[in-house]
Amino acid sequence: MSLDYTSSEMMTVTAARALENGMTCFVGIGLPSEAANLARLTHAPDVVLIYESGTLQTKPEVLPLSIGDGELCESALTTVSVPEMFRYWLQGGHVSVGFLGTAQIDRFANLNTTLIGDYHDPKVRLPGGGGAPEIATNAHEVFITLKHSKRTFVKDVDFVTTLGFGRDGKGRDGVPNIGRGPTRVITDLCVLKPDPETKELTVVSLHPGVTREDVIEATGWEIRFADELESTPEPSTHELEILRELKERTDRKHSGQ
């Protein structure tokens, strides 16, 4: 039996499953926030969600449009100042996983959210770093989620806003007090993990119905596949139901009703 679901839903559910009960997750806005809240509403009710606006252990009823929506504060255990958030809670080592989105990612999981083209003559200006540069190095590990395409998966990012494993895969070697970095990347096609030796992103699991060719076609470098390639489990009816309800509540709220 096969359920009816979209590739976006497949991505969100797979990203949500990466979070475990008991983790403390520093949540980026957008896809990571959707996945983190789905996890909280399904298999990980005790996952602690933290947003950079200072909201600690928050349980929003609808997904926030911005990182500082009132919903996040009202449903939080407590709200601290932004300097306290970054200094005590993130840099202080209390975050087990940072969950990030990005505009561009490269084969060593470096993230670019700054610009496309040359810094002083950009083709496209993107929003910039925000919390990501320090989330990626101070959290114990990092999950990344984004849609898979040749535009987003490039061999070398135009600008390293946020460190994955550096231009050569050795960017974290010998650096004291640094997290493990990206441990998995979840897309709408597959799950990738860094090779234990080279740190190059490698496909470890294909989503149902996705072929190797689909991934090769959507990746801007010669992508490698794990020897024992897995098939990502399908979303359950329960997960899809909760996700759809969450998105519907969110749309209703943000359209001003």
Partner 1 sequence: MAEILSLHDAVARYVEDGATVAMEGFTHLIPFAAGHEVIRQGKRDLTLIRMTPDLIYDQLIGAGCARKVIFSWGGNPGVGSLHRLRDAVEKGWPRRIEILEHSHAAMACAFEAGAAGLPMAVLRGYVGSDLPKVNNQIKFIECPFTGERLAAVPSIRPDVSIVHAQKADRAGNVLVEGIIGVQKEAVLAAKHSIVTVEEVVDELAVEPNACVIPGWAISAIAVAERGSLPSYAHGYYDRNNRFYKEWDAIARDRDAFTQWLDDHVYNAGGATQ
- The gap from C-alpha 114 to its chain's centroid, in whole angstroms, comes to 17
Provide the residue type at 142 as one letter.
V
The CB-of-62 to partner 1 minimum distance in angstroms stands at: 10
Residue with smaller CB distance to partner 1, 101 or 235: 101
Residue with smaller CB distance to partner 1, 196 or 256: 256
The CB-of-25 to partner 1 minimum distance in angstroms stands at: 17
To the nearest 10°, report the CA torsion of 76, 80, 83, 88: -90
For partner 1, the binding residues (CB under 8 A) are: 29-30, 52-55, 64-70, 72-73, 79-83, 85-87, 90-91, 110, 114, 119, 122, 125-134, 137-138, 159-163, 166, 171-172, 175-178, 253-256
- The pair of structure tokens assigned to 91 is 């840099």
The CB-of-75 to partner 1 minimum distance in angstroms stands at: 12
Residue owning tokens 């390639």: 229
Considering the candidates 9, 52, 134, 239, report the single residue annotated as catalytic. Answer: 52
What is the three-class DSSP state of 11? helix
Residue with smaller CB distance to partner 1, 91 or 226: 91
- What H or E segment, with its residue span, contains residue 238? helix 237-254
Provide the residue type at 193 as one letter.
K
Q: d(Cα 242, Cα 247) in Å, to the nearest integer?
A: 9
Residue with smaller CB distance to partner 1, 70 or 233: 70
The CB-of-95 to partner 1 minimum distance in angstroms stands at: 12
52 assigned to active site: yes
- The pair of structure tokens assigned to 5 is 């679901």
Q: By C-alpha distance, which of 176, 181, 217 is closest to 97?
A: 181
Residues known to be catalytic: 52
